[in-house]
Amino acid sequence: MARKLTIRDIAHLAGVSKSTVSRVLNDSINVDPITRERVQRVIAEQDFVPDQTAMRLANGDHRLIGMLLPTLWSFMTEIIQGVAGAVQDSGYEIILYSSSGLKDYCSVIDRVLAANLTSGLLASIHTHSPQHLVTLSRRGLPVVMINTTAVRLDIPWVSVDNAGGTRLATRHLLSLGHKRIAFLFPCPDLPCFHDRYDGYCQALREAGIGPDPMLALYDDGSIVKCLHEIQAMTDPPTALIVGNDYLAYSVLIELEKLGWRIPEDMAIIGFDDIVPPLQGRFALTTVRQPFHEIGQCAAEMLLSMLDPRFVPSRNWWEFSAPQDTDQRTRANEHVWPSCHIQLPVTLTVRSSCGAGLQPLCQNTS
């Protein structure tokens, strides 16, 4: 296959500089008519099609959106698809970056900015306090955090109603007759799991049941140890809400090894609705996150920041986080300096808590 010609090649064949070729392609008036004709003749003879992205970069028009992701977990594909769908007709392109850990994400961001390629940044970073991004946002870099697990940030972010999701899960277990329901933290110090625990506690209180601190369990790397603690309780739980699906599937595996029956001995509900290879063995009831919509919302929020003329596909600000009481008005005016969006989740009921395979028609909106 023949090598694709570049602007440099056309410039060489026409005996002019690259900048002259660029001015001809951009229909600039600052080109001698004879020179313009010579360049256009070479372009026609070579059947040259310019690389629009390269042209924009050469002209200082950086219509690229950087997307910073952690290790590509299974649900990241849905988020990326949502972002891509929102961006496809905007004139912007997406460039992906990957990072692992606090130190690495800071260095990746610094490299992205040093290259001076991106107009804005979408970032999904699983760290407690991404202060580096907060600082850059305050300095004027358009940034939107995606599905953040961090502390409350003075920076635009899109996440889900974590507390609402576990309220749904807890209410469902209560409706099945469970009174002793435990909650398992995958990571005790991430705010998103504390939000999920709060939702679980709220649903119990609504049912007149005081949350039992003994039923707040923590994964310290040994699921078996947690399960043995449950077995040793005088009044053990009959149901367990797990903070995410990865840990929930680990629990199901260990329960199977210990000879426990699901859901007869223990009903299980997870959070996320990811579909790992184990899905065929264990039909997990779980809170589903709308990952595609998360990506779409974040991308449209960033596009609104980059171009005031951009009109989002829907009124995302109707899902403003409760603490942002004035956000809907400001978002309607396309002002997104610290907009916090919490999208509703749904409960998908499967056999791990004793129900059929039909999704419940309820959500947190």
Please give the average per-residue pLDDT across 8-22, as a whole number: 86
Residue-number span of the structural domain to which 243 is assigned: 162-289+347-353
Q: Residue 269: pLDDT above 90?
A: yes
| Residue 178 belongs to domain with CATH number | 3.40.50.2300
Residue 214 lies in a domain: yes
Residue with tokens 């602007």: 7
Lowest mean per-residue pLDDT among 102-116, 186-200, 228-242, 259-273 = 102-116
Residue 325 lies in a domain: yes
Q: Residue 53: pLDDT above 60?
A: no
Q: If pLDDT is split at 50, 70 and 90, which confidence band does 315 have?
A: confident
Q: What pLDDT, in 10s, does the model give residues 170-190?
A: 999 999 999 999 999 987 777
- pTM of the shown model: 0.76
- Report pLDDT for 332: 43
Please give the average per-residue pLDDT across 347-363, as a whole number: 65
Please give the average per-residue pLDDT across 223-250, as a whole number: 91
Residue 358 lies in a domain: no
Residue 365 lies in a domain: no
Question: Do both 144 and 107 map to the same domain?
Answer: yes
Question: Do both 16 and 130 map to the same domain?
Answer: no
Q: Residue 328: pLDDT above 50?
A: no
Residue 93 lies in a domain: yes
Please give the average per-residue pLDDT across 143-165, as a whole number: 82
Question: Do both 115 and 38 map to the same domain?
Answer: no
Lowest mean per-residue pLDDT among 48-62, 244-258, 302-316 = 48-62
Q: How many domains does the chain have?
A: 3
In sequence order, the 6+-apart residues with CB closer than 8 A to the CB of 261 are none
Question: Do both 23 and 136 map to the same domain?
Answer: no
Mean confidence (pLDDT) of the chain: 81
Q: 151 vs 185, which has greater pLDDT?
A: 185
Q: Residue 166: pLDDT above 50?
A: yes
- Report pLDDT for 82: 93
Question: Do both 68 and 112 map to the same domain?
Answer: yes
Please give the average per-residue pLDDT across 246-269, as a whole number: 92
| Residue 49 belongs to domain with CATH number | 1.10.260.40
What percentage of the chain has pLDDT greater than the value 90?
A: 34
